[in-house]
Structure 1
């Protein structure tokens, strides 16, 4: 690649000098300026093969200059630099046609690599607009907060995905904000005018998942007195967020894989294929590769979902974002009527040293308690120490209630299922679907206990042998004889 002319606009003299020297060493011709007006004049005169511009300059915002550059010279690549390192900056740069976005302070080697890519890669098709409403949003209203290097990389990836329908897999510990990322992909993307539906696989009884996702026809099973729409149908034209995808049962995984492969599905009890137009965003806190090795998750489904992987870092890996998060959460609770508070430096330092097993959710809950329970305007380290001591986890927390009866376990499970529905009302036919969920493991375990002997299993259950056979067939239970 021969020498190119690169136009640099930045109001910081030191940055202009560094970039000028680095680009000259690579053999390029360089023109530098400290204002947007001069840069625009050069562009109008047809100068330059590449533009590197800051966002904040004395006479005009570099992002506001971008649309005029792209309209006049759509082939001219523009790299945007900014110290305003938020998701909104990255989205604005992407939607207005920037080749790439680099937060300040930047690594010079990274920028030089970006320059070489900008000068050598083919010109892509113009990206889809992410919408005027997103461009007018303020940082405080953004779903993601933080300017750490880890968050900057997430912002850049999200900005590149806004104009696409690529399937995304979000991984991260509980409380890191996986649903916030999914909502950002939807709210700033081309499906923003469509619905956004979130489904938590872990909160739905396993036997009800297929009906929940795909709907069912009238008469599909006992109690299905009306047709019920599923989440795929409800999310048509929008985004379907499948949270905790690692908890999806294998039979539902098979149906989901078919939807992703063929772009259509059938309702439970239905025969007519239904075309689907839904963007899938999945998320999990579990290691899906381990589940694949254990036979609990389909490998082919994993690769269908993992088209674009996004890993959300735990809060302990981006503790430099804690002050901004604290300010953000104090602002939110103030809007809800609680007094506005702040935190002194010693208290913030103590928060940075905490391990945060509950991640951002744990921090938000703490801030809400501080705003509600303490009278002082400035929270000090003594308060933080007391909070961390009061809410420290027990040494050996029980995973589930001890000595819990079957009825109590079922009730607890069903409460989670009802809570997972926004209006608290699940789809019709709930009674029979719940009975099927209890019946299937009961029959399966009985057959395992009797090593597949249906006569013994029927006797143990108190059922007629023909009735047991019919239930095995209806519930699609696999009977393996001679189990040990």
Structure 2
């Protein structure tokens, strides 16, 4: 169990004494400020989970430093002050710093808040049961590992702002759930949440999908169409797999982000875009820029606030809990009491889960169908296949078969293995999602 770390900057000797004598403060690993440097610099040099700060008139530069460096996404704050108006401190709180208590201070309330933070940071989940999920939840996300609790705090803080967010994470890690959770925690939650996969945008129809079109704008435009910017008006627009968007449309998207205006295809009317943009990618953005599939200027517009979604292998404390979570919900739906065997739990805990949470969920779903009462290792279908050698790869390729047929078989077989997930399929085949959609559309055409 890791002891949570509390940074404390308190100049009032009486308040400091009361805090240090409290049982809850003694539970933290305490780091106190000194006169050697500004307290904000000391805070940035000392990794911590929570900061208790006594505000004073000389802290303006400290507040600005915290706002500029982005630490508010990493650390929760409890600030106490004498109540004097302080615009910069107010701005700090609007950026999601945490709690601000004004004099006369209610010490009991402050200690209760410290206790709440301690419990949140140091909770050890109980052993899950077959009919219950024991994981914490924030929005549509579930998990109790430190990396997920840190993600919850980050999302809670950025959600109340209007900053564009770029979500970075591997396939299956839950990027769309993160985007949806951001929307639900924002001031726009009563308005639409619209998601679009940028890899599915064909260059011919991308403008229409994004910005809409008027009747008769092009051949086949039999009626007016609202694009996703209009559909999401007042709410949030989720641009999934942004690196798959055609570069021409990236230029137009950048123009909308800069001006707040767009024009539907075939229309003279200029529309105002009132949407919060949340984008996502499973690629390293810097590598995508180097590869020429993501414009650098668009990246900086989208990544006002980047959010990294941890892969499942970095959430070791959640793996068994998530398996039990999926099992509990399936049991509730089917009115059954199936359970995981100890051997199945051991296999789940040791698996690398390259497909992340999506792979785990599918594994539990398959095992649930195959098992009678107890889910055993053989029901999980996780046996790792040996990597074939280059020579065996070549010998397995049939001779005399048209290349188009081999390509089609490779695409359809990989798609079936991934349960229809096109993003994972494209990644494994080394092609873009847009190319995959084009291939599949071609296969559906009559020969």
- Output the TM-score relative to the length of structure 2: 0.62
CA distance in structure 1 between the aligned counterparts of 2:216 and 2:163, rounded to whole angstroms: 36
Deviation sequence 1:65-110 (CA, Å, 0-9, x none): x999679869x9865644654xxxxxxxxxxxxxxxxx1279xxxx
In the other structure, the counterpart of 1:383 is 378
Q: Cα distance 1:105–1:367, how it changes in 2: closer, same or farther (>3 A)?
A: closer
Q: Answer yes or no: is the 8 Å Cα contact 2:136–2:144 preserved in 1.
A: no
CA distance in structure 1 between the aligned counterparts of 2:103 and 2:10, rounded to whole angstroms: 26
In the other structure, the counterpart of 1:310 is 307
Deviation at 1:150, TM superposition (A): 1.7
2:233 is the alignment partner of 1:215: no
Deviation at 1:387, TM superposition (A): 1.9
1:49-60 equivalences under 5 Å are 50=80
Deviation at 1:223, TM superposition (A): 1.6
Deviation sequence 1:386-444 (CA, Å, 0-9, x none): 6212x75975999xx984379989x99xx9xxx99xxxxxxxxxxxxxxxx99xxxxxx
Deviation at 1:353, TM superposition (A): 1.6
Q: Answer yes or no: is the 8 Å Cα contact 1:338–1:372 preserved in 2.
A: no
CA distance in structure 2 between the aligned counterparts of 1:321 and 1:169, rounded to whole angstroms: 24
In the other structure, the counterpart of 1:34 is none
Q: Cα distance 1:177–1:24, how it changes in 2: closer, same or farther (>3 A)?
A: closer
In the other structure, the counterpart of 2:176 is 179
In the other structure, the counterpart of 2:295 is 298
Q: Which deviates more from structure 2 when the two are superposed, residues 353-362 or residues 314-323?
A: 314-323
2:164 is the alignment partner of 1:167: yes
In the other structure, the counterpart of 1:477 is none
Unpaired runs of 5+ in structure 2? 1-8, 37-77, 82-97, 125-134, 422-437, 440-447
1:405-444 equivalences under 5 Å are none
Q: Answer yes or no: is the 8 Å Cα contact 2:140–2:177 preserved in 1.
A: yes
2:161 is the alignment partner of 1:143: no
Deviation sequence 1:231-284 (CA, Å, 0-9, x none): 100000111100000000011001100111011111112222100110000001
1:52-131 equivalences under 5 Å are 81-82=116-117, 85=120, 103-104=121-122
CA distance in structure 1 between the aligned counterparts of 2:166 and 2:232, rounded to whole angstroms: 18
Q: Cα distance 1:303–1:67, how it changes in 2: closer, same or farther (>3 A)?
A: closer
Q: Cα distance 1:72–1:197, how it changes in 2: closer, same or farther (>3 A)?
A: farther
User: RMSD in angstroms over aligned alpha carbons?
Assistant: 4.3
CA distance in structure 1 between the aligned counterparts of 2:378 and 2:408, rounded to whole angstroms: 38
In the other structure, the counterpart of 1:404 is 404
2:212 is the alignment partner of 1:190: no
Q: Cα distance 1:2–1:174, how it changes in 2: closer, same or farther (>3 A)?
A: closer
2:353 aligns to what SS in structure 1? coil
In the other structure, the counterpart of 1:124 is none
CA distance in structure 1 between the aligned counterparts of 2:208 and 2:264, rounded to whole angstroms: 7
In the other structure, the counterpart of 1:237 is 234
Deviation at 1:329, TM superposition (A): 0.7
Q: Cα distance 1:176–1:70, how it changes in 2: closer, same or farther (>3 A)?
A: farther
Q: Which has the larger radius of gyration?
A: 1
Deviation at 1:348, TM superposition (A): 2.1
1:207 aligns to what SS in structure 2? coil
CA distance in structure 2 between the aligned counterparts of 1:155 and 1:242, rounded to whole angstroms: 21
CA distance in structure 2 between the aligned counterparts of 1:360 and 1:344, rounded to whole angstroms: 20
CA distance in structure 1 between the aligned counterparts of 2:214 and 2:386, rounded to whole angstroms: 47
1:269 aligns to what SS in structure 2? coil
Partner residue of 1:205 out of 202, 206, 229: 202
In the other structure, the counterpart of 1:371 is 368
Deviation at 1:191, TM superposition (A): 0.7
Q: Answer yes or no: is the 8 Å Cα contact 1:340–1:371 preserved in 2.
A: no
Deviation at 1:19, TM superposition (A): 5.0
In the other structure, the counterpart of 1:17 is 26
CA distance in structure 1 between the aligned counterparts of 2:138 and 2:284, rounded to whole angstroms: 32
CA distance in structure 2 between the aligned counterparts of 1:340 and 1:10, rounded to whole angstroms: 49
CA distance in structure 2 between the aligned counterparts of 1:402 and 1:285, rounded to whole angstroms: 33
CA distance in structure 2 between the aligned counterparts of 1:271 and 1:408, rounded to whole angstroms: 43
Q: How many residues align?
A: 326
Q: Cα distance 1:155–1:404, how it changes in 2: closer, same or farther (>3 A)?
A: same
1:240 aligns to what SS in structure 2? strand
4+ runs of 1 displaced by more than 3 Å? 6-11, 15-27, 48-51, 66-74, 76-85, 138-142, 391-398, 401-409
CA distance in structure 2 between the aligned counterparts of 1:245 and 1:299, rounded to whole angstroms: 12
Q: Answer yes or no: is the 8 Å Cα contact 2:169–2:282 preserved in 1.
A: yes
Deviation sequence 1:40-61 (CA, Å, 0-9, x none): xxxxxxxx9749xxxxxxxxxx
Deviation at 1:288, TM superposition (A): 2.5
- Output the TM-score relative to the length of structure 1: 0.58
CA distance in structure 2 between the aligned counterparts of 1:353 and 1:142, rounded to whole angstroms: 28
Q: Cα distance 1:338–1:287, how it changes in 2: closer, same or farther (>3 A)?
A: farther
Q: Answer yes or no: is the 8 Å Cα contact 2:168–2:282 preserved in 1.
A: yes
CA distance in structure 2 between the aligned counterparts of 1:232 and 1:216, rounded to whole angstroms: 12
Q: Answer yes or no: is the 8 Å Cα contact 1:81–1:104 preserved in 2.
A: no
Q: Cα distance 1:19–1:285, how it changes in 2: closer, same or farther (>3 A)?
A: closer
